[in-house]
């Protein structure tokens, strides 16, 4: 069974770049028609879809975050990553990585999530 695990700093200073990695186990990130996804959750805005990447490198980002987001994939490490630049306290959230079974399917497998706090 595929498993996903987020990792990265739990504290980021305002205006800096948030960087998270999702390590996938139990299956190759390069195989199958899967879309590797980042989603975040805040008390105020609830669940917010950030974007996804296909193993070929094709990406789609939420327009509300597009100017600040980069999602990349490292097939050699079976990982994909999220970078969010110019963070503010509004970016404080639990960040989840997930796998969707297709471009137009909901994510079935999720990581446990990692809390990232933006604070000086």
Partner 1 sequence: DIVMTQSPESLAVSLGERATINCKSSQSVLYSSNNKNYLAWFQQKPGQPPKLLIYWASTRESGVPDRFSGSGSGTDFTLTISSLQAEDVAVYYCQQYYAAPITFGQGTRLEIK
Task: Write out the residues near partner 1 by the rule CB under 8 A.
Answer: 46-49, 60, 62-64, 96, 98, 100, 104-108, 110-113
Phi first, then psi: what are they for 66, rounded to 5°? -55, -35
Choice between 21 and 62, CB closer to partner 1? 62
Choice between 54 and 60, CB closer to partner 1? 60
**Minimum distance between the CB of residue 104 and partner 1, rounded to whole angstroms?**
6
Choice between 15 and 112, CB closer to partner 1? 112
**Minimum distance between the CB of residue 66 and partner 1, rounded to whole angstroms?**
9
**Minimum distance between the CB of residue 86 and partner 1, rounded to whole angstroms?**
20
| 15 vs 68: CA distance, rounded Å | 11
Per the DSSP assignment, residues forming a β-bridge with 25 are: 3
DSSP string, 6-56: EES-SEE-TTS-EEEEEEEESS-TTSSS-EEEEEEEETTTEEEEEEEEETT
């Amino acid at each position: 069974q595929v498993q996903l695990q987020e990792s990265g700093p739990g504290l980021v200073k305002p205006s800096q770049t948030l960087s998270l990695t999702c390590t996938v186990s139990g299956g190759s990130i390069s195989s199958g028609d899967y879309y590797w996804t980042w989603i975040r959750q805040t008390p105020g805005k609830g669940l917010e879809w950030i974007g996804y990447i296909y193993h070929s490198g094709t990406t789609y980002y939420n327009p509300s975050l597009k100017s600040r987001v980069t999602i990349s994939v490292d097939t050699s490490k079976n990982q994909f990553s999220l970078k969010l630049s110019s963070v503010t306290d509004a970016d404080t959230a639990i960040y989840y990585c997930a796998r969707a079974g297709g471009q137009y399917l909901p994510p079935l497998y999720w990581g446990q999530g990692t809390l990232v706090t933006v604070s000086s």
